[in-house]
């Protein structure tokens, strides 16, 4: 079991000149500490226009800063939105390769397709097409990274032969992941040899079934790249405190705030009827039973909030259902003061991490295809 | 904390319907035809159109709908609505600005039972081969013309209809107004999707001054079984939904 942290970069109103800079600076301080403490990965999302919820539209720049300020932690670019109206596939390959070089081969490449009308609508992307374009682009990225010259005639894009430069530092190429939110995407990921980058919080029983099916399918995959990544990377909240009640209370505030903010966005499924988006996004996973605005926020099973002992138990549950890695959201809307976030990280590293990790060095989780 | 509505409730309450009580019986209606358009709206009015209990969506949207109900306890009727997309706490909802029906009896019943601010008009929904058109006309003056262009069949399971929040007066609201949550179920028999076109929208007639549709999202036309359920939740119109919600049943 390995541990990572991930960032949405949520910036609460009221905004002034310093608001975003403060949140970014705090995030970088957390990343430096996480690197020292032995966390394995730092991930940053790509989102556009998501007021307050996420001001992380250029994650590759944030991650470059993370890379140059750290020594060992791996940088997770993800998910990168593989929708050609938002990111031309060549630019995705170029930026990722550059980040891999700058980080000394520490890139983890997450792929996805966006789940909000807020983003897709603004870029005039048709929600019907995003599964298809994601599929096309994830098949092209490894070729762009490994072939001297690349050309393509497809539905999402076309181009004559060109040398796409630079090439990634990791050979044959960085590990690839797919964001798992909608039911069935785990099958898409398994069939293509992509790692599972879970983006739903909790729901252990449901996750166990899906992980088992993923494990079964990836054994017979046709990988899109030269490496198969069969790791399951889940997401969770983290607030660790010596006093369990304090930890749970603060953690619930963090979880509730995140869920509340996520719910304000206009999901693709809500705005635009399409079979391409069977799920409403994060909200149903967070509050499956709520039909009244007054219902209390349900705390999903397996949340990593509370005392070290409670968190150890939660992680053991994740381990038992087949998760290999857990990425933690440390804050939302800055509801947890920076000093407490850092203390939580330190306590986790001291009391919880030794129960699960033995490795000294952060490593990619891949195997050469066919091995 | 996300942005909140800033609508001054008090002037609006003067025209808001008065609920008989909260013990409304459900109307279950088969064979309803429902045309619904979604547009992004200019953000200048994204908070001023909503009561303080509700958050605007990101981005702000408005829903324009015209429905034909072939049967009901007060006979067949049509119903046109303009709603603003919102969140009650974390839940998707549409706040009703105004409604029209071709049946004065429906206007009366929908107002007293579910809080619909509704006036009589000539409300029609018609399906052609190349489009579905909903119109609302009063004294020969068109108040809304909403169309779905180039209908294509889709699965009804792909469609998400948000529940409605209606501003009303109630005996126990202490003059603050209540938001009535109307959350019907839908069983779809046919569904189509197309391009939305709004060629007439008389804003003043819909309590929609300043509401400017700026970006088309989608249009759907469905044949379904739906209706008007028993009221399950009411909200204090001037209090954050998370704390101002009352469960009735």
DSSP letters for A176-199: EEEEE-STTHHHHHHHTT-EEEEE
Per-residue pLDDT for A363 more than 80?
no
Separation CA B156–CA B190 (nearest Å): 7
Classified by CATH at the fold level, domain A2-368 comes out as TIM Barrel (3.20.20)
Of A266, A273, A297, the CB nearest to B59: A266
At CA B177, angle to CA B175 and CA B179, rounded to 5?
A: 165
Of B58, B91, B244, the CB nearest to A118: B58
Q: pLDDT of A159-170, one tens digit each?
A: 999 999 999 999
Provide the token pair at A180: 């798992």
Task: Please tell me the distance in Å from B64's CA to the nearest CA on chain A.
Answer: 13
Separation CA A212–CA B109 (nearest Å): 53
Question: B194, B201, B228: which is closest to B136 by C-alpha?
Answer: B201
A263/B91 CB distance under 8 A: yes
Confidence (pLDDT) at A283: 44
**Which of chain B's residues have a Cβ under 8 Å away from the Cβ of A121?**
40, 59, 215, 217
A294/B55 CB distance under 8 A: no
Per-residue pLDDT for A219 more than 90?
yes
Give the orientation angle of helix A89-102 with respect to helix A59-68, to 10 degrees: 10
Half-sphere exposure of B55 (CA within 13 A, CB side): 24
Confidence (pLDDT) at A124: 97
Separation CA A293–CA B101 (nearest Å): 29
Confidence (pLDDT) at A291: 62
Q: pLDDT of B160-198, one tens digit each?
A: 999 999 999 999 999 999 999 999 999 999 999 999 999
Confidence (pLDDT) at A70: 98
| Residue B16, SS3 per DSSP | coil
Q: DSSP letters of B215-246?
A: EEEEEEEEEEEEEE----EEEETTS-HHHHEE
Confidence (pLDDT) at A365: 64
B158/A273 CB distance under 8 A: yes
Cβ–Cβ contact B131 with A under 8 A: no
Cα A319–chain centre separation: 18
| pTM (predicted TM-score) | 0.93
Confidence (pLDDT) at A79: 92
Question: A353, A361, A371: which is closest to A74 by C-alpha?
Answer: A361
Separation CA A25–CA A60 (nearest Å): 16
B232/A292 CB distance under 8 A: yes
Contacts by A350-355, CB closer than 8 A, 24 or more apart: A351/A240, A351/A308, A351/A312, A352/A240, A352/A308, A352/A311, A352/A312, A352/A315, A353/A3, A353/A37, A353/A38, A355/A312, A355/A315
What confidence category does residue A361 fall into, taking pLDDT thresholds of 50, 70 and 90? Answer: low
Task: Please tell me the distance in Å from A208's CA to the nearest CA on chain B.
Answer: 26
Q: pLDDT of B9-35, one tens digit each?
A: 999 999 999 999 999 999 999 999 999
A114 burial type by CB count under 10 A (0-12 exposed, 13-18 middle, 19+ buried)? buried
Cβ–Cβ contact B104 with A under 8 A: no
Rounded average pLDDT over A261-287: 78
Confidence (pLDDT) at A284: 44
Separation CA A317–CA A205 (nearest Å): 10
Separation CA B86–CA A357 (nearest Å): 45
Domains and CATH numbers, chain B: 9-247 (2.40.400.10)
A294/B241 CB distance under 8 A: yes
Instruction: Return the residue matching tokens 């909140």.
Output: B4
Confidence (pLDDT) at A357: 75
Separation CA B188–CA B133 (nearest Å): 20
Question: A117, A89, A303, A77: which is closest to A197 by C-alpha?
Answer: A77
Strand pairing category for B163-168 and B91-101: parallel
Q: pLDDT of B55-92, one tens digit each?
A: 999 999 999 999 999 999 999 999 999 999 999 999 99
Separation CA B242–CA A59 (nearest Å): 33
Strand pairing category for B141-153 and B131-138: antiparallel
A216 burial type by CB count under 10 A (0-12 exposed, 13-18 middle, 19+ buried)? exposed
Separation CA A368–CA A370 (nearest Å): 6
**Which of chain A's residues have a Cβ under 8 Å away from the Cβ of B155?**
275
**Which of chain B's residues have a Cβ under 8 Å away from the Cβ of A297?**
90
Of B157, B183, B247, the CB nearest to A294: B247
* Among A31-40, A355-364, B224-233, the least confident range: A355-364
Beta-carbon contacts of residue B129 (< 8 Å; ≥ 6 apart):
none
Mutation test of the interface with chain A: which of B37, B55, B158, B179, choosing the one with the most A Cβ atoms within 10 A? Answer: B158
Task: Please tell me the distance in Å from A13's CA to the nearest CA on chain B.
Answer: 7
What confidence category does residue A102 fall into, taking pLDDT thresholds of 50, 70 and 90? Answer: very high
B2/A118 CB distance under 8 A: no
Q: DSSP letters of A230-274?
A: --EEEEEEEEE-SSHHHHHHHHHHHHHHHHHHHTTB-BHHHHS--
Provide the token pair at A101: 């070089």
| Three-class secondary structure assignment of A29-78 | HHHHHHHHHCCCEEEECCCCCECCCECCCCHHHHHHHHHHCCCCCEEEEE
Per-residue pLDDT for A260 more than 60?
yes
């Amino acid at each position: 079991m390995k541990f990572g942290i991930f960032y949405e970069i949520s910036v609460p109103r009221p905004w002034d000149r310093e608001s975003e800079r403060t949140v970014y600076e705090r995030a970088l301080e957390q990343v430096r500490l996480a690197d020292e403490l032995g966390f394995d990965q730092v991930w940053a999302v790509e989102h556009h226009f998501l007021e307050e919820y996420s001001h992380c539209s250029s994650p590759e720049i944030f991650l470059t800063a993370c890379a140059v300020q750290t020594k060992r932690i791996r940088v997770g670019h993800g998910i990168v939105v593989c929708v050609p109206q938002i990111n031309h596939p060549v630019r995705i390959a170029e930026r990722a390769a550059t980040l891999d070089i700058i980080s000394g081969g520490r890139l983890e490449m997450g792929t996805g397709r966006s789940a909000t009308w807020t983003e897709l609508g603004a870029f005039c992307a048709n929600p019907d097409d995003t599964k298809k374009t994601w599929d096309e682009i994830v098949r092209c990225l490894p070729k762009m990274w490994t072939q001297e010259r690349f050309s393509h005639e497809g539905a999402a894009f076309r181009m004559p032969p060109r040398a796409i430069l630079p090439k990634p530092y990791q050979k044959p190429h960085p590990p690839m992941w797919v964001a798992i939110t909608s039911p069935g995407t785990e099958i898409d990921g398994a069939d293509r040899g992509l790692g599972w980058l879970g983006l739903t919080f909790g729901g252990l029983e449901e996750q166990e079934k899906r992980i088992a099916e993923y494990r079964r399918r990836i054994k017979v995959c046709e990988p899109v790249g030269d490496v198969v990544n069969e790791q399951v990377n889940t997401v969770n909240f983290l607030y660790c405190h010596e006093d369990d009640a304090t930890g749970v209370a603060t953690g619930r505030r963090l979880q509730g705030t995140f869920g509340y903010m996520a719910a304000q966005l206009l999901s693709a499924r809500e705005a635009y009827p399409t079979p391409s988006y069977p799920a409403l996004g994060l909200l149903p996973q967070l509050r499956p039973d709520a039909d009244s605005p007054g219902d209390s926020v349900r705390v999903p099973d397996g949340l990593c909030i509370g005392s070290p002992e409670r968190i150890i138990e939660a992680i053991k549950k994740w381990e038992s259902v087949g998760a290999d890695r857990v990425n933690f959201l440390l804050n939302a809307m800055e509801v947890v003061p920076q000093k407490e976030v850092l203390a939580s990280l330190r306590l986790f590293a001291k009391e919880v991490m030794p129960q699960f990790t033995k490795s000294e060095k952060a490593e990619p989780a891949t195997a050469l295809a066919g091995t | 904390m996300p942005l909140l509505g800033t609508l001054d409730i008090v002037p609006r309450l003067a025209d808001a319907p008065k609920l008989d009580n909260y013990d409304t019986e459900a109307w279950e209606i088969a064979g309803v035809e429902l045309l619904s358009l979604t547009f992004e709206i200019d953000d200048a009015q994204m908070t001023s159109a909503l009561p303080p209990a509700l958050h605007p969506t990101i981005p702000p949207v408005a829903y324009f709908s015209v429905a034909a109900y072939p049967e009901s306890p007060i006979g067949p009727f049509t119903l046109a609505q303009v709603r603003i997309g919102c969140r009650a706490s974390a839940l998707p909802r549409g706040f009703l600005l105004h409604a029209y029906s071709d049946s004065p009896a429906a206007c009366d019943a929908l107002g007293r039972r579910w809080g619909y601010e509704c006036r009589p008009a000539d409300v029609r929904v018609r399906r052609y081969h190349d489009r579905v058109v909903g119109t609302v006309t009063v004294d020969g003056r068109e108040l809304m013309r909403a169309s779905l262009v180039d209908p294509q069949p889709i699965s009804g399971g792909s469609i998400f209809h948000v529940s409605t929040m209606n501003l009303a007066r109630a005996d126990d609201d202490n003059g603050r107004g209540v938001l009535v949550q109307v959350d019907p179920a839908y069983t779809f028999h046919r569904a189509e999707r197309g391009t939305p076109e709004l060629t007439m929208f008389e804003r003043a007639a819909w309590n929609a001054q300043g509401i400017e549709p700026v970006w088309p999202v989608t249009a759907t036309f469905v044949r379904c079984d739906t209706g008007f359920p028993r009221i399950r939740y009411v909200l204090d119109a001037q209090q954050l939904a998370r704390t101002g919600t009352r469960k009735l049943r």
